[in-house]
Amino acid sequence: MRWPLSLILVLSVFLQRAVANAVSVGIYELPPHMMRAGEQPPQGLVPEFLFNRVFKPNKIEVRWSQAHFARILVDLQAGRLDMAVLVAKNKEREKKYVYSDVPLLKNQSGIVVDKNSKLKKIKSIKDLKGLRLGHDWGSIVPDYFEKSGANFLFISGEDYFHRGLYLLKSKRVDGFFVPTWSHGFYVLGQEHLKDKFLILPIPDSALDLYIIFNKNLDKNIIRIVNEALKAHASEYQKLLAEKVGS
């Protein structure tokens, strides 16, 4: 049976539109923003927000890909993913990816220390001089650490936060860096660990976290996401404040 040329053209256009309206999004573990769920859809504020405010209203089909942060960046650059969420800017990354026009999250960073640590408050980045700090491998080291005099132990593998707690308990580090303060504050509260550990905000550590795109992604999809972010990003900050409670 031979298909009419007109029908073939219609099907071709339909399939192109279907592909254009489907995206794959990388999700890593960062409660309460994102929680991986194995074979099930991811949980957290980010997947819920993106689905309700970006994808569903614009009839965009989404496929969630759940992995370690470093793996997501590799897959995004290689074209195996279309988007990743809550990523900080630096010059190297800006060469590889397209950033959203505005950040999804404005937050600050912190250092988790033992409750009995002599360090109770960070007044200046120089208060970290001589300390050995854990840091997630694959995450950027902010420029302000250049003047801190701190040394870093880079932690690889899954579940960075709990690995950091283990290193802290075993006194292999004096503290560990948490790029997203809300994440550290939330986990310590959820696991009833605030009587054992402190998370100290780093002054002048304002951190903007963006959605990033593969450079070859359909520009119309990028435009839709940017428009939705500009309209609703403030709602995300309110959702986070309600969830974290501080």
pLDDT tens digits, residue range 191-210? 999 999 999 999 988 889 99
Position of tokens 């854990």? 134
Q: Give residue-wise pLDDT tens across range 56-76.
A: 999 999 999 999 888 999 999
pLDDT above 50: residue 166: yes
Q: Looking at 9-18, 63-72, 120-129, which range is the least confident one?
A: 9-18
Q: In the prediction, which pLDDT does 98 show?
A: 98
Helix (H) or strand (E) holding 64, with range, is strand 61-66
189 and 213 inside one domain: no
Q: In the prediction, which pLDDT does 187 show?
A: 93
Q: In the prediction, which pLDDT does 246 show?
A: 53
223 and 203 inside one domain: no
According to DSSP, the residues that pair with 213 across neighbouring strands are 83, 98
39 and 22 inside one domain: yes
88 and 114 inside one domain: no
pLDDT above 70: residue 40: yes
Number of structural domains found in the chain: 2
98 and 218 inside one domain: yes
Question: In this structure, are strands 98-99 and 197-213 parallel, antiparallel, or unpaired?
Answer: antiparallel
| C-alpha span between 25 and 245 (Å, rounded) | 28
- Please provide the average confidence, as pLDDT, over all residues in the chain: 88
Q: In the prediction, which pLDDT does 7 show?
A: 44
200 and 167 inside one domain: yes
Q: In the prediction, which pLDDT does 20 show?
A: 55
95 and 132 inside one domain: no
Q: Looking at 58-62, 79-83, 143-147, which range is the least confident one?
A: 143-147
- Top-confidence residue, 159 or 82: 82
77 and 134 inside one domain: no
Helix (H) or strand (E) holding 52, with range, is none
Q: 144-165 burial, b for 16+ CB within 10 Å, e for fewer? A: ebeebebebeebeeeebbebbb
Q: In the prediction, which pLDDT does 26 show?
A: 96
127 and 240 inside one domain: no
111 and 184 inside one domain: yes
pLDDT above 50: residue 100: yes
| C-alpha span between 195 and 101 (Å, rounded) | 40
Q: In the prediction, which pLDDT does 143 show?
A: 85
Range of the domain at 150: 106-207
30 and 56 inside one domain: yes
| Per-residue confidence band for 4, with pLDDT thresholds at 50, 70 and 90 | low
**Mean pLDDT for the stretch of residues 43-47:** 95
178 and 225 inside one domain: no
CATH number of the domain where residue 157 is located: 3.40.190.10
Percent of the chain with pLDDT over 90: 72
